[in-house]
Structure formats: C-alpha cells, structure tokens
Amino acid sequence: MTTEVSPFGVALAVLAPDAIKLNLADFTAKYGHAFFVRIAPTDLQPRRPTETRMADASAVPTGSTTMYVLPVVKRRASTLAFISIGRLDGNDIAIADDSVSKFHAFVKEKDGTFLIQDARSRNGTTVNGEPVAQRGEGEPTVLASRVSVRFGVVHTSFLSAGDLMELARRMSG
C-alpha cells in the first residue's frame, strides 16, 4: 500500500477516487483485501463552524467526524507471522487510543479467511459484542465482512475490499 497511514488510519475520502475508478483486483493490489473502518474526530479544522439547532432555536457548535480506514496489512518491516494491532506505532495497525493496549490483538489470514485473537489486552476485543478469546485461551474468531469489532472502547467495522469500495462509492454520491 502506498498511502501513508496515520494512527487514525486513512480518511475514506482519500481512498474514494480509487474505489470509483479501479476494479476490485487493482484496488486490492494497491490497498489490501480487508479493512477496519472507524469514525473518529476530524483532525483538520472545519472550513466554517458547524452548528446544531436546539429545540429553543439556539445554535450550539458541534464537532466534526471523519470515517477512517485501517488496512489489514503487514508493514514492510514486520517479521511477525500475523498482523499486529495495538496503540504503539510499531504495530502493523496502530490505533491511537488509551483504551487500546500496546499490543492489543492480532489477525491472521488463512486461505482468504481472516481470524482475530486478543493478545491478552487490558480492555479486551469483541466481535459483534462477543468477547474474542485471548491468546492461548481459545480459538480465534472468524471475521466476516460487515461485523462490528471493538478494541478497548474503539469501535470499528471489518469490511472486505468489495464492501469498502461500495461504501466509498455511496459516500461519494
């Protein structure tokens, strides 16, 4: 993948042009086969203040959020047999949140199927609200596209490349 990934991920808007113009094979060659998608505060200031109209007709400023994509891929320097997820930048997928452990969970791909296991994290990992077994204490959980995955208090959705492309196209109008 050639796009730089911040601890929030890549804004969906950055991937949208490729999701629109590339076919599935070219998109997966460039970005990978699977993704975690999360909504987080926008790190850029909005161009103009955003307001919410209250019942009494007063306006209050509100924040802005962005949909971020975290590709489920190994970093080039990684020598691990899995894709690591954690708070530290050295992980394959870095999630900047204090509820995420330094090394929180890991994903393995086997014959096109993605499996997730908790790495004995402090705040746990869940798939569709069900706890994921910790390393050494049970079987990994299969990740199907469109399931909800929580790392600590960080909520994400796991999407296949095809489903991410569809989402990007819908969001682009």
Please name the CATH architecture into which domain 10-43+57-172 falls: Sandwich (2.60)
Question: What backbone torsions phi and psi does residue 167 show, to the nearest 5 degrees?
Answer: -60, -45
Prediction pTM value: 0.82
- Angle at the Cα of 32 from the Cα atoms of 109 and 110, rounded to 5 degrees: 10
Q: How confident is the model at residue 67 (pLDDT cuts 50, 70, 90)?
A: confident
Question: What backbone torsions phi and psi does residue 21 show, to the nearest 5 degrees?
Answer: -95, -25
According to DSSP, the β-strands at 83-86 and 93-94 are parallel
Q: How confident is the model at residue 71 (pLDDT cuts 50, 70, 90)?
A: very high
Tracing tokens 């970005």 back to the chain, one arrives at 31
Residues in the chain: 173
User: Any idea where the domains of the chain sit in the sequence?
Assistant: 10-43+57-172
Tracing tokens 């990934």 back to the chain, one arrives at 5
Residues 153-173: tens digit of each pLDDT: 999 999 999 999 999 998 887
Mean pLDDT of the chain: 85
Contact present, 118 and 134 (Cβ < 8 Å): yes
What is the per-residue pLDDT for 40? Answer: 73
The C-alpha atoms of residue 169 and residue 151 are separated, in whole angstroms, by: 27
Q: How confident is the model at residue 5 (pLDDT cuts 50, 70, 90)?
A: low
The C-alpha atoms of residue 106 and residue 111 are separated, in whole angstroms, by: 17
> Is the pLDDT reported for residue 45 higher than 60?
no
Higher pLDDT, 18 or 45: 18
